Amino acid sequence: MKITLTKPVTFDGNEIKEIDLDLEGLTGEDLAQAEREYLAMGGQMTSLTLSISYCQGLAARAANLPIEVTRSMSARDSNAIAMEVQLFLHGMEDQVHGKSA
C-alpha cells in the first residue's frame, strides 16, 4: 500500500514523499521486535494495537525504514500511517477502504 505524505520528510539527505507499507509482509517476529522496542523506549504494556508509538514502529518495519522516519513525519501523516497499521491488525482495512473481503 503506497501512502503519499502530505508533508515530505528528509532522512539521510533523501526527501521522502511517499512510503510503501508492506503490511502483509510483516511476521510474528516483526510484531515481537516492535513490542520490545516500544517497551525499551518506556512504553507501557497496554493494548499495543492502539498505541501510536507501537504502530509507528510496525509501519517503519513494513516500509523497511528506520523508525526515525515515521517519527519525524507530520502529526497528520504519522497518525494516518499508524491508523493503517491499526486497521490492518484488526482486519478492518477492507471495510474502511471499501474493498470486498
User: pLDDT tens for residues 77-101?
Assistant: 999 999 999 999 888 876 666 665 4
Q: Which secondary structure element, helix H or strand E, spans residue 55, and what is its range?
A: helix 52-62
Q: How many domains does the chain have?
A: 1
At residue 5, the pLDDT reads 96
Please check whether residue 101 lies inside any domain of the structure: no
Domain that holds residue 66: 2-96
The answer for residues whose C-beta is within 8 angstroms of residue 48's C-beta and 6 or more apart is: 35, 38, 54
Please check whether residue 31 lies inside any domain of the structure: yes
Please check whether residue 86 lies inside any domain of the structure: yes
pLDDT in tens, 32-76: 898 888 888 887 777 777 788 889 999 999 999 999 999 999 999
Please check whether residue 44 lies inside any domain of the structure: yes
At residue 23, the pLDDT reads 93
At residue 25, the pLDDT reads 95
Angle of helix 52-62 relative to helix 75-89, nearest 10 degrees? 80
